[in-house]
Amino acid sequence: MLPEPANDPGLRAWCDIPTSTDFPIQNLPFGVFSTADRSARTATRIGDQVVDLSALAELGLLNDLPHSQEAYATDSLNPLLRSGRPGITSLRRRLSEILRKDGPWDKDRDLITRKAFLPVASATMHVPVKIGDYTDFYSSREHATNVGSMFRDPKNALLPNWLHLPVGYHGRASSVVVSGQEVRRPNGQTRPDDQAPPIFGPSKQLDFELEMGFITFDGPELGNPIPIGKAQDHIFGLVLVNDWSARDIQKWEYVPLGPFLAKNFATSISAWVVTLDALAPFRVEAPEQDPPPLPYLHRTGPQGLDISLEVDIVPAGSTAATVCRSNSRYLYWSMEQQLAHHTVNGCNVRAGDLMASGTISGPTPDSAGSMLELAWKGTRPLAMPDGSERTFIHDGDTVVMRGFAQRDQVRIGFGELRATVQPAFP
């Protein structure tokens, strides 16, 4: 496969970019934003600047690409996604050409800056796609082993199916929210005393889950699976995911059909979708799989991604404590395997569907991707800078997730995924 020209580590933009940015010219993610004087439209980002794609289209810079002018001026990326991976690849290449120093549009930098640039602080970001369906997987062996060890026999922490297929469940698309939107503590039934009836009230064990999610292009028609060798053709890009979990509600409700109120109250995602093309240089081998999966899940080539991940907890009025450092390369089941398994029965996927990895935990105690593991079911409280402790998330806490990949002095990141917890409804 030929290298993607927009990934060239030697590329430089004609605009000023902070040296430590997540958004160099080699990234060029996609998102949706609005301003005080204008409704939502699509954008890319470079450094600390949002670049309005509808403005670039009005300047005639995107004319010969496979998208209509209206597709750039809408409140979701879905119309752009209907061009498939070739269409998004061509758009990203064009943006790279427009923003490249000494490129064909360098001479027009003043006009482009005036018409299409605005500081990211002036933009209100939105969920980037209209999510039709949301699936959450359970693909970290370390996480599944930790949870199984807590609640079952540590010698048999993994259920019999776990090493043979990517376990998943269907979540709630309507409650997916963008970074910066507050999350309200859920109410529900819990049973703190196993010898007494359940009670109703706010969850006392609210947890974060550190995940990555991928967004799809259209797949084949209902009844036609996506072979693992073609899965990448149907993956647009990735976002950070915090799939909030109310552990005490889940413990009482999940048998026999799995999570319900414990998960459907909120799922937070980052605002910018980083394309699979931009992440191509950071491919690594995924963990060895033993026993080998069935043929339809057999991996070919590197399917892991070397993306460093971290989580901060910021108590109200205090400073941040970094509680987790993990990496997406730990995932046992890859995106391609998740998508192949999801569709092997003929289930169809549509442009804008979201599929999350499940909690990403690593081999060390500080790489656990949830409070359930970090505080080991409440038995090992984490100290905060203000002197308080956490076993789960408190009202007023802000949870901040970050992720980036770095190689050859190029850093491709996702920005922050941030949400503050508000008290439950009375």
Confidence of residue 2 (pLDDT cuts 50, 70, 90): low
Quick check: 327 pLDDT over 80? Answer: yes
Element counts in the chain: helices (H) and strands (E): 9, 26
At 145-191, the pLDDT tens digits run: 999 999 888 888 999 999 999 999 999 999 999 999 999 999 999 99
First to last CA, the chain: 57
Residue 134 sits at φ, ψ, to 5 deg, of: -130, 125
Asked whether the CA dihedral 273, 275, 278, 280 is positive or negative, the reply is positive
Domains 5-126 and 134-422 share a fold: no
Quick check: 1 pLDDT over 80? Answer: no
Which residue type sits at 378? G
For the CA atoms of 314, 206, 125, 75, the dihedral, rounded to the nearest 10 degrees, stands at 180
Per-residue burial over 331-341, b if 16 or more Cβ lie within 10 Å, else e, is bbbbbbbbbbb
Question: Which residue from 130, 139, 28 is spatially nearest to 79, judged by alpha carbons?
Answer: 130
Give dist(CA 298, CA 406) in Å, integer: 28
Give dist(CA 271, CA 253) in Å, integer: 31
At 244-261, the pLDDT tens digits run: 999 999 999 999 999 999
Q: Give the mean pLDDT of 309-336.
A: 98
| Cβ atoms of residues 168 and 360 within 8 Å | no
Which tokens sit at 380?
A: 């090992």
Quote the longest CA-to-CA distance of the chain: 75
Residue 275 sits at φ, ψ, to 5 deg, of: -70, 155
Question: Which residue from 78, 77, 265, 245 is spatially nearest to 172, judged by alpha carbons?
Answer: 265
At 259-317, the pLDDT tens digits run: 999 999 999 999 999 999 999 999 999 999 999 999 999 998 999 999 999 999 999 99
At 69-95, the pLDDT tens digits run: 999 999 999 999 999 999 999 999 999
Q: Give the mean pLDDT of 339-368.
A: 98
Per-residue burial over 143-177, b if 16 or more Cβ lie within 10 Å, else e, is bbbbbbbeeeeeeebeeeebbebbbbbebbbeebb
Quick check: 3 pLDDT over 80? Answer: no
> To which residue do tokens 């046992």 refer?
332
Quick check: 418 pLDDT over 80? Answer: yes
Give me the pLDDT at residue 153, please.
Answer: 85
Confidence of residue 408 (pLDDT cuts 50, 70, 90): confident
The beta-strand segments (E) located in 320-393 are 321-327, 354-356, 382-383, 389-390
Q: Give the mean pLDDT of 85-114.
A: 97
Give the C-alpha distances (Å, rounded to integers) separating 310 from 183, 226, 361, 403: 20, 32, 11, 7
Which tokens sit at 345?
A: 């029965």
Apex 287 CA angle, 258 and 271, nearest 5? 60
Share the mean pLDDT of the chain. 97
- Tell me the domain boundaries of the chain: 5-126, 134-422
Give me the pLDDT at residue 426, please.
Answer: 86
Give dist(CA 108, CA 381) in Å, integer: 56
Q: Tell me whether residue 212 is exposed, middle or buried, using C-beta atoms within 10 angstroms of its C-beta: 0 to 12, 13 to 18, 19 or more.
A: buried
Kindly state the percentage of the chain with pLDDT values over 70.
99
Instruction: Name the catalytic one among 126, 143, 234, 342.
Output: 143
Quick check: 36 pLDDT over 60? Answer: yes
Counted residue by residue, the chain has a size of 426
Would you identify the CATH topology of the domain 5-126?
Answer: SH3 type barrels. (2.30.30)
298 is catalytic: no
Give me the pLDDT at residue 246, please.
Answer: 98
Q: Give the mean pLDDT of 390-394.
A: 98
Q: Which CATH number fits domain 134-422: 3.20.20.10, 3.40.50.1970, 3.20.20.70, 3.90.850.10?
A: 3.90.850.10
Give me the pLDDT at residue 41, please.
Answer: 98
Question: Which residue from 103, 107, 102 is spatially nearest to 94, judged by alpha carbons?
Answer: 103
Give dist(CA 33, CA 75) in Å, integer: 8
Give me the pLDDT at residue 152, please.
Answer: 86
| Cβ atoms of residues 217 and 321 within 8 Å | no
Residue 90 CB partners (closer than 8 Å, separation 6+): 65, 66
